[in-house]
Amino acid sequence: MDNFEQIAINLIENIENAEGQRRQRFFPDNPFALSDYNFVKLYRLRKENVQDLENLLGPFLPAQHKVDALTNRNKILLTLRFLAGGSYQLDIGRNQMMKVSQSSVSRSLHSVIDAFNHHNILNTYIHFPNSMEELRDVRQRFFNLYRLPGIIGCIDCTHIAIVAPVINEHIYMNRKGFHSLNVQMVGSKRNNIITLYFTVPVVYYVCYFKICDEKLRITNVNARFCGSTHDSFIWQNSNIERFLSELPQNEMGNFYLFGDSGYPIRPWLITPFLPEPEPDTPEARFNRRFRAIRVTVERCFGLLKNRFRCLLKHRVLHYTPETAAKIVNTCAVLHNICLENNIPLYNDEEMMGFNEVEGGNLNENINHIPDNNVLGRGREVRQLLVNNYFV
């Protein structure tokens, strides 16, 4: 039985089970009556955090005109349950705590996600360090951790699966054979936290990765690109790349990201040596340390996907690319809230997200780009690192 048949059967069973139920909206039990453990497991937030969200999102949610309309709290809970599990809307509406029609779930989901994507909300919870003072702070903390100068983060890409779009379907087909948004992540450290910057279609994220607790905070999000887009193209058209490339000339080469071989080396973006150097050479030692630092990006993707399982490959977001990007942004904001409040992740299932980091699209010709001043300067910065720390 293929996936399409299984989905069809599941939908039919859900519809048949729903036919015998009354169509009115009602909450037979109060989700807030759940134990703290079960509440966090279902909704990813604590009860007091949901109450805070009511106040935060209230000004950006549609006004309620009907007496029996869902409350903002119920809309938020429905959305949280979807993001946490990635189930179909009908399943969300029929779970053990809420009896709500699919149409009500759909309206609630879209209104809450739109509220999360309001610029006031995104700017409050998603912030990229954009001053020399912040950059120096990140660089120093990275140096304290890895004893290498200049590093302000690591960059990589992953895919978020979506249903085939009606328009321009082919450009969302990635190299692994499924439709997706390509997600770029950059990680750096700040205030005892490693900051990780990601992107979807181009979704930029920047996250804080807490060293001792392995926690991540997303600080920059921007959605633009589809699943077939090369990682290097996403990077070259990103705000982060422009920001770093426009730093004062006297700071050029003093702040840089670590990226894999799919990216072009730059004074502000360092990549590993290719082909793989001979063992026990300075270049080989550099590559080994390089990979150890960059692994934090994959761990960040894994943690994000495991907390919000709607982002897992096999769940597939059945929405337009634009709505899917908003869902990713929403997960980024909620992820930050979880970290700020030290909310644990309870899962009985295997930590699937950690085993499902779908790499982005590497440009195999990236290393054949003709040399120029910027490329040459990037190689000089890398060689200086090798000469000073790996010889």
Q: Which residues contact 340 (CB under 8 A, 6 or more apart)?
A: 217
Residue ranges per structural domain of the chain: 18-116, 129-389
Taking the C-alpha atoms of residue 178 and residue 227, their distance in angstroms, rounded to an integer, is: 8
Q: Tokens standing for 231? A: 């990682």
Q: Identity (one letter) of the amino acid at 210?
A: K
CA distances from 236 to 151, 243, 265 (A): 19, 11, 11
Q: Structure tokens of 62?
A: 């549609």
If you count DSSP H runs as helices and E runs as strands, how many of each does the chain have, helices first? 13, 6
In angstroms, rounded to a whole number, what is the distance separating the alpha carbons of residues 109 and 279?
53
Any idea of the CA torsion for 332, 130, 143, 385, to the nearest 10 degrees? 110
Q: Which residues of the chain have pLDDT under 70?
A: 1-29, 67-68, 88-98, 183, 185-216, 219-223, 347-371
Using alpha carbons only, what angle is made at residue 199 by residues 52 and 159, rounded to the nearest 5 degrees? Answer: 105
Give the global pTM: 0.78
In one letter, which amino acid is 260?
D
Give burial (CB, 10 Å; 0-12/13-18/19+) of 57: buried
From CA 225, how far away is CA 160, in angstroms rounded?
Answer: 12
Pairing of strands 269-270, 256-259: parallel
Provide the mean pLDDT of the chain.
Answer: 79
Rounded CA-CA distance 183/205 in Å is 9
By the 8 A CB rule, do 223 and 247 touch?
A: no
